[in-house]
Amino acid sequence: MLDEIPIVQQLGLDCSITAAHPDADGIGTIEKGFNNPKFHPALHQIYQHLIPAAAALGVTQVICFSGNRDGISDAQGLENCALGLAPLMPLAEKHGVTLVMELLNSKVDHPDYQCDRTPWGVALCERLASPHFKLLYDIYHMQIMEGDIIRTIRTHHQHIAHYHTAGVPGRHEFDTTQELNYPAIAQAIKDTDFNGYIAQEYVPSTEDPFAFLPEAITQCS
Which residues are registered as beta bridge partners of 218? none
User: Active-site residues: which are they?
Assistant: 102, 201
What is the crossing angle of helices 118-128 and 74-85, to 10°?
Answer: 40
With beta carbons less than 8 A apart as the criterion, state whether 120 and 78 touch.
yes
Angle at 133 between CA 119 and CA 33, to 5 degrees: 75
Q: Tell me, which fold does domain 2-219 have in CATH?
A: TIM Barrel (3.20.20)
pLDDT one-digit tens code per residue, 40-52: 999 999 999 999 9
- At residue 2 the predicted structure's pLDDT band, cuts being 50, 70 and 90, is confident
Q: For residue 168, give the nearest of 142, 130, 198 by alpha carbon.
A: 142
pLDDT one-digit tens code per residue, 105-148: 999 999 999 999 999 999 999 999 999 999 999 999 999 999 99
What is the crossing angle of helices 149-156 and 118-128, to 10°?
Answer: 10
CA atoms within 13 A on the CB side of 12: 0
pLDDT > 90 fraction of the chain, expressed in percent and rounded: 95
Which residues are registered as beta bridge partners of 134? 100
Domain ranges of the chain: 2-219
- Which helix (H) or strand (E) segment holds residue 80: the answer is helix 74-85
